[in-house]
Structure 1
Amino acid sequence: MPLPRLTLTPDASHGPLDGAWWPRCDALELELPALVGALDPGLGTVTRVTVDTAAWPDAPRTVLAPGHVIEVALSDVDAEAHAITLDCGTVGRWELLVVPPGEPADAATWLLTTASDPWNALTAPHMLALAEANRENGADPGSV
């Protein structure tokens, strides 16, 4: 797989998100190893991820990553919709917006940029709702 389309918040995040990830397909077992491999080793080893049941209905319970196995937990909590939580043991956890694979490039670019802004206060579901509303209204995604 090519390198993941990923943006991370520089330094510390002040919002609900630590960045965004735009997978190319909805097969978590194909996409997750590239995402994990692209993360800075200083962030720790990803041991578990939590994903939205609606976005990843066929997600396996474990995914093989280079050198280790990642446990996959499914969640149907609305606050976690359209997000992936990466647990890195004692190092910490990161919450990323998951941009839907079929999202148009202009909206995806806005979502990636906004989610990685350390001062962004929007949740993943709210950001995707704004991008969808702009698309329906024919507005520029950046005008949110």
Structure 2
Amino acid sequence: MESSRTAAEAKFTDDAHTYRMPLPRLVLAQDVGHGPLDGAWWPRCDVLELELPSLVALLEPDWGGTVRVMVDASQWPEAPHTVMAPGRVISVEPTEAADGAGMITVDCETVGRWMLLVVSHEEPADTAARLLAGAGQ
């Protein structure tokens, strides 16, 4: 017996079973590249494998581009060296530098480098909102 679903219906049905992370909680500075910070990111959890794909997809829309991420090793002690994302592999480099504390650097092949303040996922919403707003100015 042949399926009675159209191609569009089949695609919708298949996509209904695919989980996608929500858009990242990210604020970019008004003058990106003109200060020490390009913005701030408030991840929902401390699992980079879950958080990085949506962040990188927003910052680097070119699916073929190479992406290297540098994270503070003290903030992400279980950071993997590679994160698989749809259409790309994200290289992760934990750093020990004191000046990288609370920061993440996303180095994208096509759009350049983003330096972001990382607001801890454990921060209360009102505190995180203030930090995000401050980084966006």
TM-score range, shorter chain: 0.7 to 0.9
Moved more, 27-36 or 8-17: 8-17
> Which residue in the other structure is 1:85 paired with?
105
> Is the contact between residue 83 and residue 98 of structure 1 (CA under 8 Å) also seen in structure 2?
yes
Alpha-carbon distance, 1:11 to partner: 4.2
Q: CA deviation at 1:65?
A: 1.8
| Alignment correspondent of 2:114 | 94
**1:21 aligns to what?**
41
Tell me, yes or no, if structure 1 residue 34 matches structure 2 residue 54: yes
Q: Where does 1:55-134 land on structure 2 (aligned, <5 Å)? A: 55-89=75-109, 91-117=111-137
User: Hey, which bits of structure 1, 4+ residues long, moved more than 2 A?
Assistant: 10-14, 38-42
| Paired amino acid for 1:111 | L
- Name the count of aligned residue pairs: 116
Confirm or deny: 8 A CA contact 2:65 2:110 kept in the other structure: no
- Unaligned ranges ≥5, structure 2: 1-20
SS in 1 for 2:131: helix
Matched to 2:24, the amino acid is P
**Residues 8, 18 of structure 1: 8 Å contact kept:** yes
TM-score (norm. length: structure 2): 0.77
Aligned equivalents of 2:41, 2:66: Cα separation in 1: 15
- Displacement of 1:4 in angstroms is 0.9
- In the alignment, structure 1 segments of 5+ residues that lack a partner are 118-144
Deviation string 1:89-128 (CA, Å, 9 cap, x unpaired) is: 26420100010001011110111111122xxxxxxxxxxx
Superposition RMSD on alpha carbons, in Å?
1.8
SS at match of 1:12: coil
**TM-score, normalised with respect to structure 1:** 0.74
Q: Distance in 1 between matches of 2:89 and 2:43?
A: 20
Q: Percent identity?
A: 60
State the Cα distance separating 1:40 from its structure 2 match. 5.7
Conserved? CA contact 2:49–2:83, under 8 Å: yes
